[in-house]
Chain A
């Protein structure tokens, strides 16, 4: 398919996007600021995009690239809702630190 893309072996793309995905997971698990957590989720989604585009270019099948557009649209919708929820939290408690979200516990 695309000759220049294929100069790099597919495994390298796989390693790179797994690495980015893991950075995203670590960020979600260990950061306490809600906005940074949102960014880390975006990083996870974008590493998936990279992987899909790489697979798609290697196999000569364009489905993967179309799916990337779907992911981008859904990610935009998700972030819009997430930020809206965050704003209503900020209005009520004046903080974006997720440790203050402790009203619901058994």
Chain B
């Protein structure tokens, strides 16, 4: 609970820093603040219980349990890596640095609400905090028409999805008489299947969340928005925001709608199958690196839906491990890609041509990230897939798991397209020069991916 308050305070501090003219110190202060918040979050692990603030019991709104603390921890870690990248990213626009950083911190706040809500009111607020901040960030290159277009497309699609979510919440409130997850769960178990209004409401909520996590057939916004947004914002969308939406989705399904599992799982099976197939097949035809990672994100959403489908056996650990490995690999990939984009001035896959000869270390690190995304042992991505697939088999989704394995074999092909471009093609003589901080982030991401790949016990099974 205090984690959330301090994060909010850090965001406000960022806005004040603009007035006090402390821009140079901003990134170190934020990183120190995030370290302190990580520690506060760790303290919550010891005393997880009802949230009491000023003598009032808040647990009908937010609940800080081990699920929330664990997800908050990896979200804070991802945010710290992203902020390390951000100082250099906005160097051509120093007068807006503190605004952008403040908005990025508020995204982290929204993500923390999403991991710990116990009321549909907080779910809605969390989704909106994240989404509205992201609309601004997606359009933050004001004079670049592509960024404008990405921001506005995201805004239209996102607010449409929010309206659908709200209609679902209203119908659920009308049938269950409450916004609180435990009461909704009790209602769903008792008479959810018999009340069409409740079923329609849950369907609308599930559709809205599938929209937010970019699952097929609600994925059309994602490649356009990923391509048009500034690369750092794309990284944030693909990692922190996607994982927080999945945490919220998991929490909603396990804490509220478990009683109508037979109804929602039929839809989710179809959506997961379509997401894995279409995400991987369309990714094969892409030649823009950001669009490639957008479709890769869509296919990874399909695998993570398998974890949502297996809530009966408490698949939260598998989802958590998968989320952590996916975030590490994607941030690692973008930490290499951003300096390459800057040096070559293009964002297509041929920007990486000849990188293996020019900068063997960068090429090696990007290769590791790509292999982790593709799910090749001994990297963390392989174990993430393994845990999720074994949960799905435990729940009897054998055909779907076979499909997922086939889809991820197809996926290996397009990740290798990038690797082949680096090692077999000749590029121009543009000089790729990542700063110290970028190199540090790459090394941390790849190092942790390897570490989790050989020692999964560090994260697996702690929830």
Measured CB to CB, the residues of A under 8 A from B are 10, 14, 17, 21, 24, 28, 34, 37, 41, 44-45, 47-48, 51-52, 55, 59, 61, 63-64, 67, 70-71, 74, 77-78, 81-82, 84-86, 88-89, 92-93, 98, 101, 103-106
**B23 on interface, CB distance cutoff 8 Å:** no
**Residues of chain B within 8 A of A86, CB atoms compared:** 152
Quick check: B121 and A52 within 8 Å, CB to CB? no
Cβ–Cβ contact A106 & B285, under 8 A:
yes
Q: In whole angstroms, what is the CA distance A49 to B197 when docked?
A: 17
In this assembly, does B50 line the interface, its C-beta being within 8 Å of a C-beta of chain A?
Answer: no
Instruction: Given A85-B151, A101-B153, answer yes or no on A51-B163 (Cβ-Cβ < 8 Å).
Output: no
- Chain B interface residue count, Cβ-Cβ cutoff 8 angstroms: 45
Of the listed residues B155, B164, B282, the one surrounded by the most CB atoms of chain A closer than 10 A to its CB is B155
Point out the residues of chain A lying under 8 angstroms from B174, CB to CB. Answer: 10, 14, 51, 55, 59
Q: Are A104 and B149 in contact (CB under 8 A)?
A: yes
Contacts of B169 in A (CB 8 A): 48, 67
Closest residue to A92 on the B side, CB-wise? B145
A64-B173 in contact (CB<8A): yes
B282 to chain A: which residues have CB within 8 Å?
106
- Please tell me if the beta carbons of A89 and B156 are within 8 angstroms of each other in the complex: no
A37 contacts which chain B residues (CB < 8 A)? Answer: 156
In the complex, B136 has a CB within 8 A of chain A: yes
Q: Are B136 and A67 in contact (CB under 8 A)?
A: no
Residue of B nearest to A13 (CB): B174
Q: Are A28 and B156 in contact (CB under 8 A)?
A: yes
Given the contacts A21-B167, A48-B166, A61-B178, A82 and B121 also touching, CB distance less than 8 Å: no
Known: A61-B178, A88-B142, A89-B149. A81 touches B166 (CB 8 A): no
Q: Are B160 and A41 in contact (CB under 8 A)?
A: yes
Q: Are A89 and B173 CB-contacts (below 8 A) given A41-B163, A45-B163? A: no
Q: Is B344 an interface residue (CB 8 A)?
A: no
Mask: chain B, 122-142; 1 = CB below 8 Å from A; 0 = not: 001100100010011001001
Stretch of B221-229, B247-255, B387-395 with 4 or more beta carbons under 8 angstroms from chain A: B221-229
A14 to B197, CA, bound (A): 10
Q: Which of B156, B167, B228, B291 contacts A106, CB < 8 Å?
A: B291
Q: State whether A106 and B163 are in contact (beta carbons under 8 Å apart), knowing that A55-B173, A85-B151 are contacts in the complex.
A: no
Cβ of B106 to closest chain A Cβ, rounded Å:
12
Report B-chain residues with C-beta under 8 Å of the C-beta of A44.
160, 163-164, 166-167
Report Cα–Cα, A92/B153, bound state, in Å: 16
User: If the complex has contacts A45-B166, A48-B166, A106-B291, are A70 and B125 also in contact, measured as CB distance less than 8 A?
Assistant: yes
Q: Is A24's CB under 8 angstroms from B163's CB?
A: yes
A–B complex contacts, Cβ < 8 Å, 12 sampled:
A44-B166, A45-B166, A48-B166, A51-B171, A70-B125, A82-B152, A82-B155, A82-B156, A85-B155, A104-B153, A104-B224, A106-B286
A88 CA to B152 CA, complexed, in Å: 10
- List chain B residues, Cβ under 8 A from A28: 156, 160
Chain B residues with a Cβ under 8 A of chain A: 121, 124-125, 128, 132, 135-136, 139, 142-143, 145-146, 148-153, 155-156, 159-160, 162-164, 166-167, 169-171, 173-174, 177-179, 197, 223-224, 227-228, 282, 285-286, 288, 291
Quick one: given A41-B159, A55-B173, are A63 and B291 in contact (CB under 8 Å)?
A: no
Please indicate the chain B residues that have their CB under 8 angstroms from the CB of A41 in the complex: 156, 159-160, 163
Asked if A85 and B227 make an inter-chain contact with CB atoms under 8 angstroms apart, the answer reads no
Contacts of B223 in A (CB 8 A): 104, 106
Report Cα–Cα, A48/B171, bound state, in Å: 9
A77 closest partner in B (C-beta): B132
CA distance A81 to B173 in the complex (A): 28
List of B residues within 8 angstroms of A85 by Cβ = 135, 139, 148, 151-152, 155
A61 touches B125 (CB 8 A): no
- The answer to whether A48 and B163 have CB atoms under 8 Å apart is yes
**The 9 nearest A-B residue pairs measured at CB:** A44-B163, A55-B174, A104-B224, A48-B166, A51-B170, A101-B149, A89-B148, A85-B152, A74-B128
Check if A59 sits within 8 Å of B177, measured CB to CB. yes
Contacts of A14 in B (CB 8 A): 174, 197
Q: How far is B139's CA from A52's CA once the two chains are assembled, in angstroms?
A: 33
Are the C-beta atoms of B135 and A82 separated by less than 8 Å? yes
- B165 to A, closest residue via Cβ: A48
Residue contact A81 to B132, C-beta cutoff 8 Å: yes
Contacts A88-B142, A104-B150, A104-B227; is A63 near B163 (CB within 8 Å)?
A: no
Q: How close is A34's CB to chain B, nearest CB, in angstroms?
A: 7
Q: Which of A28, A64, A71, A104 has the most CB of B within 10 A?
A: A104
